[in-house]
């Protein structure tokens, strides 16, 4: 404990804070933003006797069917016919839109005669979507700059506390009365940032 306290007390605050900030980008476990596939969803059924009907597994209809449904961002979509789950849609001979923007749209009136079923009507389809995890780090990718700045400001106060061990500082002080007052102020700083627990583990690593 006794050795080298003076040097560490003089330099630390600036240097340590820089280290912690740079470390954070690499050491903090990056959130896993891999999208997750939902179960097969089927909320719409084509009415084969209505030319203006079709199958509409749209995100809008899914939400209407279940208002609590959450998909932060649709990154991918898979569409299949309920009766022919293993046959790619393109091989079914039906005209179907399957997109991450709207979901699945099949209009009876767009269907040709002579597809996999004799009637020119839509099969019943179901979809599965791959949703971005609903956490800020994964969703607000475009506003990265705004996100990063608050992170830096919260981290810097913590780095100060982790820097100079308070016990060492007090030990060194006895010699000069003037310096002790300066150190006293420095020692009080560490106490304040304590409330943030998650980042605390981070500050422990570099020390
Ligand atoms: C299907 O469409 C026909 C013709 O428009 C209509 O009479 C019938 O009620 C519809 N069936 C359902 C289940 O909506
Ligand atoms: C969508 O998922 C399929 C697998 O279901 C994959 O082959 C394809 O590459 C994915 N597309 C994108 C853009 O991730």
Question: For 84-117, what is each residue's pLDDT tens digit?
Answer: 999 999 999 999 999 999 999 999 999 988 877 8
What is the per-residue pLDDT across 127-167, written as a single tens digit (0 to 9) for each? 999 999 999 999 875 543 333 333 333 333 333 334 344 43
Tokens of 45: 């059924």
Ligand 1: residues whose CB is within 6 Å?
Answer: 47, 49-50
Q: What is the pLDDT of residue 114?
A: 80
The span from the CA of 67 to the CA of 59, in Å, is: 11
78 Cα nearest atom in ligand 2: 5
- Evaluate if residue 18 carries a pLDDT over 80: no
Ligand closest to Cα of 74 equals: 2
Q: How far is the CA of 47 from the centre of ligand 1 (A)?
A: 6
Contact (Cβ atoms closer than 8 angstroms) between residue 55 and residue 122: yes
pLDDT band for 26, please (50, 70, 90 cuts). Answer: low
Helices (H) and strands (E) in the chain, counts: 8, 6
pTM above 0.75, yes or no: no
Q: How far is the CA of 76 from the centre of ligand 2 (A)?
A: 6
Of all protein residues, the one whose alpha carbon is nearest to atom 4 of ligand 2 is 78
Torsion sign (Cα): 104, 108, 109, 114: positive
Q: How far is the CA of 49 from the centre of ligand 1 (A)?
A: 6
Q: How far is the CA of 122 from the centre of ligand 1 (A)?
A: 14
pLDDT band for 195, please (50, 70, 90 cuts). Answer: very low
Instruction: Locate the DSSP E strands across the chain.
Output: 36-37, 54-58, 74-81, 97-99, 103-107, 125-131
What is the per-residue pLDDT across 62-81, written as a single tens digit (0 to 9) for each? 999 999 999 999 999 999 99
């Amino acid at each position: 404990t006794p050795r080298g306290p003076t040097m560490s007390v003089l330099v630390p605050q600036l240097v340590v804070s820089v280290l912690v900030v740079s470390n954070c980008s690499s050491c903090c476990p990056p959130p896993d933003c891999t999208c997750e596939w939902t179960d097969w969803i089927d909320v719409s059924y084509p009415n084969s006797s209505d030319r203006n009907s079709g199958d509409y597994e749209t995100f809008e209809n899914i939400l209407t069917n279940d208002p609590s449904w959450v998909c932060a961002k649709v990154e991918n979509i898979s569409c299949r016919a309920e009766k022919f789950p293993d046959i790619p849609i393109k091989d079914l001979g039906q005209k179907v839109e399957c997109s991450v923007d709207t979901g699945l749209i099949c209009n009876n009136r767009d269907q040709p005669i002579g597809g996999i079923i004799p009637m020119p009507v839509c099969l019943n389809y179901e979809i599965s979507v791959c949703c971005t995890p609903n956490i800020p780090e994964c969703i607000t990718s475009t506003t990265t700059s705004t996100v990063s700045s608050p992170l830096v400001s919260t981290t810097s106060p913590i780095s100060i506390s982790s820097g100079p061990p308070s016990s060492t500082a007090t030990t060194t002080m006895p010699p000069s009365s003037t310096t002790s007052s300066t150190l006293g102020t420095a020692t009080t700083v560490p106490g304040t940032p304590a409330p943030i627990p998650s980042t605390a583990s981070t500050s422990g690593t570099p020390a």
